[in-house]
Amino acid sequence: MKILIVGAGAVGSHLAKILSQEKHDITVIDVSDEQLARVSESLDVMTLEGGGSQISTLQRAGAAEADMLISVTSKDEVNLTSCFIADKLGTKKKIIRVNDPEFLVSDSPIQLKDFGVDLVIYPDGLAAQEIVRLIRRSAATDVLDFADGRIQLIGLRIDEGSILINRRLKNLIADHEELEFRAVAIHRGMRTIIPSGDDVFKKGDQVFVICVTEHVPEMLRLAGKDTATFEKIMILGGGNIGRHVAEALQAEVSVKLIESVKETSVRLADELPKTMVIQGEGKDIDLLATEGIQDMDAYVAVTRDEEDNIISCLMAKHLGVKKAIAHVEKLDYIPLANTIGIDALISKKLSAATAILKFVRRGEIVSVATLHGVEAEIIEMVAQKGSPVTKKPLRDLNFPDGAIVGCVIHNGSATIPVGSTRISPQDRVVVFCLPKAIKEVERFFS
């Protein structure tokens, strides 16, 4: 496809990287020649300096012949205008990012469809949803739903004292035949491994497992993780992400939200009747101690200062908080979560990019997800009639290196596959794959 990406920031450059690897014809547009130089130095894409909301720029970029425009600058008005112009010029599909949740109100007098928008991405809301999932699945470092929630991929950290340390994967499977699961990746240091039966779990590993949702609690117990639900949560930062998280959880657990700006804290106290809103600085250790941070089950730091978020989460872990989650802007920080001891680093920019990729890849692909800090993707696909993946049992397929089938949904029933499993046309299949294998995996299902 010919795809125009307006905005060469973190979201735009990440999308350009992934989509160019998949051999799409990518043009990145930005007003900053410095940003464009960084993109062109590292990626095989076209770049064009100019305003994405200018007719002449989009004409030069070939919007009339483009299959898709993705506008992800930090300015809503630029994204809306570029979408409107591209629609008038003839671009087939348009995706925009918005930072103001008012654009999502269904009864607004101005609807995004009036601008020709096919998909709107609200990064703050996506990041909040991810945090809420992690809180609800308390023992996991990552939680992703597939097959309409019937299958989950969970991330588990192998901590000191875990019974999994030095266990060989094939022995673990043999000892627990009643448990339907498949280990699809091990993240060790800065490396992602697609495991075989002979791989051994090491202390500090981040292990990703696909299993039937009803078996998740048993999987967590096997890994030595506490499956008790959280009761007390503290949130630092009353911006959109913090507010959305509090709003989603306040009916289930006790929530304290700390916000530094007085006007914002007063407004939040009115909007969140079941949340205790406290005005104060997250850097104030005495305040956090007074408000009982040491008694919290989870601590979520989502201020605009990512360094403050990381430092306060490290402090929370030091004080015994079970789960600490920090929001960061720089995608480069995300692989550090496992190394420095924070349970999860969340990026709204990466969440936005993942949601956009799901839309771009519609067809045989049902959904796409990425894991924070892991150079891999989880793809849910539909096997087409006559496709190579339906021809032989899994063990005889010569499936691409760097990819593994995690789950097969046949006639509504989800199973964890073994070597003798055969995939039928119209089966939904969840595949974990490294970037180098994505195109080859897609060929197997086409």
DSSP 8-state symbol, 61:
H
DSSP-H helix ranges across 229-376 = 240-249, 262-271, 285-290, 306-318, 337-340, 348-360
183-212 pLDDT per residue, tens: 888 888 777 888 888 899 988 888 888 888
Give how far Cα 429 sits from Cα of 148, 178, 368, Å.
Answer: 13, 22, 12
User: Which 3 state secondary structure label does DSSP give 243?
Assistant: helix
178 band by pLDDT with thresholds 50, 70 and 90? confident
**E strand or H helix that includes residue 173:** helix 169-175
**Residue 257 in contact with residue 293, Cβ under 8 Å?**
no
Percent of the chain with pLDDT strictly greater than 90: 37
**Residue 163 in contact with residue 403, Cβ under 8 Å?**
no
Q: What are phi and psi of 59, to 5 degrees?
A: -65, -45
Q: Helix, strand, coil shares of the chain as percentages rounded to 5?
A: 40, 25, 35
Neighbouring residues of 429: CB distance < 8 A, sequence distance ≥ 6? 380, 381, 382, 383, 389, 405, 407, 408, 409, 423, 445
Report all structural domains of the chain as residue ranges with CATH numbers, in order of start. Answer: 2-121 (3.40.50.720), 141-222 (3.30.70.1450), 229-348 (3.40.50.720), 376-445 (3.30.70.1450)
Instruction: Please check the confidence at residue 228 and state whether its pLDDT lies above 70.
Output: no
Identify the residue with better confidence: 1 or 3: 3
For the ranges 3-17, 32-46, 295-309, 364-378, which has the lowest average pLDDT? 364-378
Percent of the chain with pLDDT strictly greater than 70: 93
**E strand or H helix that includes residue 368:** strand 365-370
Instruction: Please check the confidence at residue 362 and state whether its pLDDT lies above 60.
Output: no
Identify the residue with better confidence: 188 or 122: 122
pTM: 0.73
DSSP 8-state symbol, 424:
P
**E strand or H helix that includes residue 29:** strand 25-30
Instruction: Please check the confidence at residue 283 and state whether its pLDDT lies above 90.
Output: no
**Residue 3 in contact with residue 62, Cβ under 8 Å?**
no
For the ranges 86-90, 207-211, 353-357, which has the lowest average pLDDT? 353-357
User: Which pair of structure tokens corresponds to residue 333?
Assistant: 């920080």
For the ranges 70-84, 170-184, 254-268, 380-394, which has the lowest average pLDDT? 170-184
**Residue 219 in contact with residue 210, Cβ under 8 Å?**
no
For the ranges 56-65, 95-104, 117-126, which has the lowest average pLDDT? 95-104
